[in-house]
Structure 1
Amino acid sequence: MGVNGVTEVTNNIATAYASSLNAPAESKKKDEEEVKVKAEAAAVYEKSDEKEADKPKVSNKEADRTKIIQQLKADDALRQQQLLDIVHKMMGKQAKTYGIANSDSDDESIWRFLAKGDFTVDAATKAQAQEDISEDGYWGVKQTSERILDFAKALAGDDPDKLEQMRAAFEKGYKQAEKTWGGELPEISKNTFDAVMKGFDELTGKTQTE
């Protein structure tokens, strides 16, 4: 991505994040409620599907079987898209927070653009961002990875195959977030990616050597 492209992206995300920090508690509460609502809806939807699957089939017509198969495929695709969307959004917000917290650092040149142009990071905004990306912060590795995994579990339940579908959706969502940023995400996002993948390994019974 050229300098103009990066400048435009970073100016936009910096302005959006600075605005959100005017009411950090409300913003985070809204994010939590969104994930919770989607997770609860997914859990109810999953339960409904299971009930339908347990019902005895009253017809063996090929048309009925085809319709059921198509519906199941559509349901799986919907769940994967739901996780993909939430991952894209979460990783983007985490990266924005990191950019604000490190706006005057020379360690990662892409984030230096956040401190240029008409945008200025005030002390309060930067302090809040630094707190948010800390080890126990809302956008830290631990809390962010846990929210992603909780949502994946709500969508997939304990089904190993569906959990693998959620893993694939997570990877796709992460790549989309990278594309949005025009390159690799910051170190905190990479560490979050590793934490989520480890969580999927534990949920599906896989080991790091497999």
Structure 2
Amino acid sequence: MDLNAISNISNNNYYSNKNSIDTKEKVDSEKKTGFSSEAAVFEKSSDKVDSNVKNSKADRSALISQLKADQEAQKLQLFDIVKKTIAGQGNAIAQADDMWKFLASGEFSVDKETKANAEKAIAEDGYWGVNQTSDRILDFAIALSGGDTSKAETLLDAFKKGFSEATAAWGKELPEISQKTYDAVLEKFEAWKNGTYGENS
């Protein structure tokens, strides 16, 4: 029998048990004091997040639903303003096209409250103002496309068609705010296609 082998096994067991005891004492000490000499180290990630990351289908659906609900609420508010205006005139409007032509004619008056609400709604920072309206139109287009800029031209054509139909329903050239919104939408579509939309927001 080799005595060196027995000696080596005994030494290994001694040091192994000794290290285990030292580690246990260190853990027990940390538990009592709540302090560890080891510190957490923050390492900054080198991964860059793409600002044009495509949202998931669920995110796009949620955004579209939110935009539709918001638009519906604001549309009801607008129709309330129009209803008050028309009711004050004693005119009955049977079709939506007639309502818009009636409004375009300018042959009506409004009370102070209705006028104040309308002015607030179309103010520069108002819901129907140029910036918010053009942002909503483009956000809706981006959500519909899933962020795919190759679909921008198709969506822009749809916007232009809708604008033409709105002009026809109005019965004459749309008000200046609508023209400014149209121009802002064209600029924002171009920025989206170039990858610069939202950089100044």
- Normalised by the length of structure 1, the TM-score is 0.45
Higher helix share: 1
Bigger Rg, which one: 2
